[in-house]
Each structure stands twice: as structure tokens, then as C-alpha cells.
Amino acid sequence: MKTAAVKIDVARTSAAKASAGKARVVSKSQAKAARQKLRATKAVGVAKKQLGDPYRYGGTGPGSFDCSGLVQYAWSKAGIRIPRVTHSQYARIKKKVSWRSLKPGDLMFFRGKGHVGMYVGKGRMIHSPSSGKTVRIEKISGWRKASFAGAVRPGA
């Protein structure tokens, strides 16, 4: 009887070790995804703290921003360095994202990639629109949705 019990324990231990090995492989990608999500949440929070700040051409904050300066500032506070201008942001951030795959923190580009905003969820984005306006959250619909040119996921 003891021999059968020992064989069962050995089988359970081997199965547990094999399962643990697989968990480590999965957990690395899960950990990377969790870190990215945490940083994205931080970037969105930082961007939201800038609501009402005025648009200023070339502005990188704090206190005033242009569109690319706002997203660069927010992501830098989350520990991710991204390029300064929209075209470089799109080109140099490798993880491209489709409209259907957008997650909070993703950078959305419009009008031939000449304007950028940060997706905040529920079909809305935060951005610094243009002269005379302030950092704001807007629903992405109508002409804005029609002018969508692509999206990227920093830190992924």
C-alpha cells in the first residue's frame, strides 16, 4: 500500500512542477501586460490632471501643451519615454493598434498623423486640440472618427 501512495505522490509532484513551469512562461507575458496596463492607467491619470490647461504650440508642459506634448508628458510621468512630435510617435512606437483594439492610454492619430490624442475608454479621448482651446476629453465620433489614421500602444 505504501508503494502505491509514494507513486501517486511522485506523480502529483511531477505534474505540479510541470504546471509551475508553464505558469512561469505565461506569467512573464502576463506580467508585461500588467506593467503596461499600470503605466497606461498612470499616463491617463496624469493627462486628466491637465484638463483645462491651455493649448500652446510647442508646449510640453507643465501648464500648457500642444497635442504631442501632452501625450509625451503624460507617458513620461508613467516611466515611458516617447518621441516629441506626432509623426515620430507613430513611427517609432512599434505596437500598432486597430480601432477595435483600443485600450486606455493608447495614442490615436488623426488627419494624416498630424494630431494625436490619448484614448481614455468608452469611445472618448483626451487631447490638446488647437489654439484658443484647452486640454479636454471628447467623444470620438463624426469627422474625428472619419479622420482616424492609426493608433499605437506605448510601453507594450
The pLDDT of residue 22: 52
Could you tell me the pTM of the whole model? 0.81
Q: Which grid cell sits at 55? A: 493649448
Predicted pLDDT at 9: 52
44 Cβ contact partners less than 8 Å away, ≥ 6 residues apart = 74, 104, 105, 118, 120, 126
Q: Do 40 and 155 touch, CB atoms closer than 8 A?
A: yes
Peptide bond into 83 cis (omega under 30): no
C-alpha 73/C-alpha 96 separation (Å) is 20
Pairing of strands 136-139, 124-127: antiparallel
* Lookup: cell for 121: 475608454
What are 30-63's pLDDT values in tens digits?
888 889 999 999 999 999 999 999 999 999 999 9
Looking at the chain, the number of H-run helices and the number of E-run strands are 4, 6
Question: Which residues does the chain have with pLDDT short of 70?
Answer: 1-26
What one-character DSSP code corresponds to residue 54?
A: B
Residue 11: predicted pLDDT: 47
pLDDT of residue 4: 52
Give the single-character DSSP code of 84.
Answer: S
